Amino acid sequence: MRIEVSFYGFVRDLVTTPKLVIDTSDQTTVREVLDSVVKRHGERLRERLLSATGELAANVQVFVGEQPTTSLDQSIDHAHDHCAEVKVFVLSATAGG
C-alpha cells in the first residue's frame, strides 16, 4: 500500500519536505508510519511528535483520511483508491475566557 504523509506547521520544517510517500504492507498503523518517518528524519522529530512514553504528543494531531485519531494504534486501511493519506499536524493551544 502506498501512503502519502503530509506535514503541516512546524513539523514541516523538521521534515524539510511537505510530503512523503511510504510503501508499506497492507496492514499498518499510525505508529508504524510515524516510526518510519522518524527513522528517516531523526530523533529531533521524534521528540516533537511523540511523548516520552512513546504516545502521540499532546499538541500533535494526526488525521487518517478525514478522520482525526488520538491513538497510535489506529490502523490505516486501504482507501478507496490505492493511496491512503495521513496528515500530521502540530496544533497550537488556544482559547481563554
Partner 1 sequence: MQTENAQEDLWIPTTCGLCYSVCALKVHRVNGTVIKIEGNPESATNRGRLCPRGVSGIMLLYDPNRVNVPLKRTNPNKGLDVDPGWKEITWEEAIDTVAERLRKIRREDPRKLLMTGTVTTQDEVPFSRFFTMAFGTPNGWNSGAGNHCGTAEHLYGALLHASWAKQPDSDHCRYLLNFGSGVGSGSYYTVTGMAQRIAEARLRGMKHVAVDPFLSPSAEKADEWIPIRPGTDAAFALAMLNVLLHELNVYDAEYLKHHTNGPYLIGADGSYLRDETEKVPLIWDPVDAAAKPFHSPEIKDFALDGVYAVDGQRARPAFAVLKEHLAPFTAEWAEPITTIPAATIRRVAKEFAEEARIGSTVVIDGKALPYRPVAVMYFKGAQGHKNALLNCMALELLTEIVGASNVPGGLLGMNSCSVGEPETGQPAWIPKADRDGLMITGYWPSFPPPYPPKEVRATETIDLRGLIPTCPGSSGALPVVMADPKRFAVPYQIEMNLHLGSNYLMTFADPEAVARAFQNVFQVSFALFLDESTYLSDIVLPAASYLERLSHTADWMSSNAAVGEWCYHVRQPVVDPIAQRRSVCEVLLELVERLEMREEFYAFINLLLKLKEPHMLDPTRCYSWSEIVDRRYKSVFGEARGLEWFKKHGVLKWPKQAEEVYWKPSSSARVPIYFEWFKTLGEKVKAQADEIGIELDTSAFQPLPEWRPCRAHEENSPGYDFYAIYYKLPMQTFSGTYDNPWLDEVCQTNPFAYGVAINASAARQRGIEEGDWIEITSVATGHTVRGQAALTEGIHPEVIAIAGCGGHWSKYLPIANQDGKGLCFEWLIPVGLDNVDIPSLTQDTCVKVKVVKATDRGSKRSSRSSRLNDLNHLNDLNPG
Binding stretches for partner 1 (CB under 8 A): 6, 8-10, 12-13, 18, 51-53, 55, 57-59, 61, 63, 87, 89-97
Q: Which of 6, 4, 1 is nearest to 87 (CA)?
A: 6
> Please, what is the minimum distance in Å from the beta carbon of residue 65 to partner 1?
11
Amino acid identity of residue 72, one-letter, is L
Q: Which is nearer to partner 1, 27 or 51 (CB)?
A: 51
Radius of gyration from C-alpha coordinates of the chain? 13
Q: Which is nearer to partner 1, 6 or 24 (CB)?
A: 6
Given a contact cutoff of 8 angstroms between Cβ atoms, the answer to whether 3 and 18 are in contact is: no
